[in-house]
């Protein structure tokens, strides 16, 4: 496994080679990963896996022409050959007036912020096996559970390095730990399944596997004996584990490429009220131990907490350098870089700030509604904002969550949904995108 410094040195070596081959500018990203995973089923070991690898992506500019290539061979000879190849490809590529590296005066200089993302662990297979068994055992111990897809536990470490020809070089590493269980309840032919998982950067912050397994079993048993509901217009309440998808649609609508291509339902929404006045949405790359924390973005720019929505008003687009140039704006530090192609944009630890009332109070006045715990399909139109997705969850009757319901469809328009959204006070940081329980009134529900 490459250390951050070795990875950074290899990325810098690639830059040296590509400039020598004739590139006017270049950047290189190196991503190295190692992982160990253990899965069990019905109390027996099912699989142990380990993987380790590293790959470098190199992007070269010749004037306003660019090309990118990637390799898993990090030797000097391989990098020299790769550099010559990518420069030749760039010379044959079409011109792009907006392409280029990030502005040099915006690059991160000095020591990056210390985010404590790597706890130094190694992922012992015996420990992972015990954790997976404990999670599945706890899930199977819940009365009503009749079968299991298994339990799993994992460890991983990723090292990321980025270097550019105009003065940036940085790297960092991050560990990750996970535990999950997935089980079924009910008789053969009419089973219901559900799951639970937890992830953390540091092993000591990982939930006990027994807690994760018990949650999986309890969620599964609650889904037994679903009922049918009549179609109609009613409030819909989103469980936190699915409510984050609404912020995902927001991010897609305010990404620079959607704005430059004019393919966003929020095209004219900057500096306007799109949520209720009490709503705030924040992206925080500096969250300690955050699942998506990072010290710099995919172009080497510094990152900092950003209020994307403040008191309901949309404050910013999310811009990499290319989309910023096209819009006549500055990049926002949200560039996200893969091993090939130009950077895109993405968020880090995105969250919707909690409201003032607990979830029980949020639903107390709902005579008839739906509490959604699972979403199915991709029925969202990013140009118009039209929203229609399959769902399952529970009926809300007279302010109480009741019987399970499946095979329903919920529909509206994202503009209307954002404007009607009300959050509870139960925000927890468990995923890359985190929201409290969310209520949206007057959605169309088609019963199963």
Eight-state DSSP code of residue 113: P
Q: Domain spans of the chain?
A: 4-221, 226-448
pLDDT value, residue 111? 83
Mean pLDDT of 160-181: 97
pLDDT value, residue 139? 98
What does the pLDDT look like over 7-35, one tens digit per residue?
999 999 999 999 999 999 999 999 999 99
pLDDT value, residue 110? 84
Please report, rounded to a whole number, the percentage of residues in the chain having pLDDT higher than 90: 94
pLDDT value, residue 341? 85
What does the pLDDT look like over 82-122, one tens digit per residue?
999 999 999 999 999 999 999 999 999 888 888 999 999 99
What does the pLDDT look like over 224-253, one tens digit per residue?
999 999 999 999 999 999 999 999 999 999
- Beta bridge partner(s), residue 105: none
Asked if residue 1 has pLDDT above 80, the reply is no
The structure tokens listed for 101 are 């590296």
Distance between CA atoms of residues 130 and 318, nearest Å = 43
Eight-state DSSP code of residue 429: -
Minimal CA–CA distance to 102: which of 337, 347, 346, 339? 337
Strands (E), 106-225: 145-164, 169-185, 192-200
Distance between CA atoms of residues 67 and 86, nearest Å = 6
Minimal CA–CA distance to 90: which of 119, 62, 124? 62
Asked if residue 39 has pLDDT above 80, the reply is yes
Asked if 440 contacts 412 with a C-beta cutoff of 8 angstroms, the reply is: yes
Minimal CA–CA distance to 251: which of 414, 427, 438? 414
pLDDT value, residue 190? 81
pLDDT value, residue 114? 87
pLDDT value, residue 448? 65
Mean pLDDT of 173-187: 96
Mean pLDDT of 218-224: 96
Asked if residue 6 has pLDDT above 90, the reply is yes
pTM: 0.95
**CATH 3.30.2290.10 at 4-221, yes or no:** yes
pLDDT value, residue 340? 87
Lowest mean pLDDT among 361-370, 412-421, 439-448: 439-448
Mean pLDDT of 264-273: 97
């Amino acid at each position: 496994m490459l250390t951050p410094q070795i990875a950074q040195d290899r990325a810098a070596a690639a830059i040296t080679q590509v400039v020598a081959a004739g590139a006017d500018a270049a950047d290189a990203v190196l991503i190295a990963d190692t992982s160990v995973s253990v899965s069990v089923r019905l109390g027996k070991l099912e699989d142990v896996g380990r993987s380790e690898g590293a790959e470098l992506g190199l992007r070269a500019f010749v004037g306003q022409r660019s090309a990118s290539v990637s390799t898993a061979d990090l030797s000097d000879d391989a990098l020299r050959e790769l550099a010559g190849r990518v420069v030749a490809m760039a010379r044959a590529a079409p011109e792009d007036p907006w392409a280029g590296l990030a502005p040099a005066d915006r690059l991160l200089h000095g020591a990056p912020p210390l985010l404590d993302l790597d706890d130094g662990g190694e992922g012992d297979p015996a420990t992972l096996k015990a954790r997976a068994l404990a999670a599945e055992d706890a899930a199977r111990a819940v009365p009503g559970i009749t079968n299991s897809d298994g339990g799993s536990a994992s460890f991983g470490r990723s090292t990321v390095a980025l270097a550019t020809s105009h003065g940036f070089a940085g790297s960092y590493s991050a560990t990750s730990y996970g535990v999950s269980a997935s089980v079924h309840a009910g008789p053969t032919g009419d089973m219901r399944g559900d799951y639970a998982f937890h992830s953390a950067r540091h092993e000591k912050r990982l939930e006990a596997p027994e807690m994760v397994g018990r949650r999986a079993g309890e969620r599964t048993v609650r889904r037994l004996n679903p009922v049918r509901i009549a179609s109609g217009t009613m409030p819909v309440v989103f469980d936190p584990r699915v409510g984050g998808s609404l912020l995902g649609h927001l991010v897609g609508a305010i990404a620079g490429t959607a704005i430059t291509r004019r393919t966003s339902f929020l095209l004219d929404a900057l500096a306007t009220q799109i949520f209720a006045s009490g709503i705030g949405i924040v992206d925080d790359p500096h969250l300690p131990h955050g699942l998506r924390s990072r010290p710099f973005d995919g172009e080497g720019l510094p990152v900092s907490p950003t209020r994307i929505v403040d008191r309901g008003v949309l404050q910013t687009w999310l811009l990499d350098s290319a989309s910023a140039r096209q819009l006549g704006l500055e990049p926002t530090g949200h560039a996200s870089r893969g091993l090939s192609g130009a950077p895109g944009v993405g968020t880090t630890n995105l969250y919707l700030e909690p409201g003032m009332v607990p979830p029980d109070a949020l639903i107390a006045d709902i005579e008839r509604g739906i509490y959604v715990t699972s979403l199915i399909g991709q029925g969202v139109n990013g140009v118009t904002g039209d929203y229609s997705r399959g769902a399952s969850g529970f009926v809300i009757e007279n302010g109480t969550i009741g019987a399970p319901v499946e095979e329903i469809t919920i529909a509206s328009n994202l503009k209307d949904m954002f404007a009607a959204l009300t959050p509870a006070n139960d925000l927890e940081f468990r995923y890359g995108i985190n929201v409290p329980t969310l209520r949206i009134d007057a959605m169309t529900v088609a019963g199963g």
